[in-house]
Amino acid sequence: MSTSEELLAQERRLQFTRFGNDVAIELGLHLLDAAREQGLPIAISVQRNGHRLFHAALPGTAPNNDRWLERKARVVELFGHSSFYVGETFREKGTTFEAESRLDPDLYAAHGGVFPVILRGTGPVGTVGVSGLPQADDHEFVVTQVESFLNSRDA
């Protein structure tokens, strides 16, 4: 399990220099290709300012994965941090997001898998996420793929 400091370090490191529709679609396709190569049963979503620019659902997913993506993305949009980080901050305090946030659990889920799209010098402008694996694995997949995507664009 990652600590909240490790999760914040990921957000400081993984930032975009631009993020338009074309970049969002390229990012979504990058995640889709990686998920197919690994045979993962996940749904993928990329959004900018609440506008879904990419969505895919691989075999083994269900409509409930889309609902999880939406609930986790709302947490990222509200707090400006990864859904895993938000949940971890509550766990580190010895409580849970559900017990302490006073937010409707039908609308918000602080479970790993959705990461903020952070525009360097601006801040969070969107979300990239997956649903279908255990929360730590969802988070790790997204972080690994965002890092791979950003590194490939710098080359």
Asked whether the predicted pLDDT for residue 135 surpasses 50, the reply is yes
> Class of 4-154 per CATH?
alpha beta
Residue ranges covered by each domain of the chain: 4-154
Confidence class of residue 66 from pLDDT cuts 50, 70 and 90? very high
Per-residue model confidence (pLDDT) at position 153 = 84
pTM value > 0.85: yes
97-114 pLDDT tens trace: 999 999 999 999 999 999
Query: Residue 33 burial (CB < 10 Å; 0-12/13-18/19+)?
Result: exposed
39-64 pLDDT tens trace: 999 999 999 999 999 999 999 999 99
Per-residue model confidence (pLDDT) at position 116 = 98
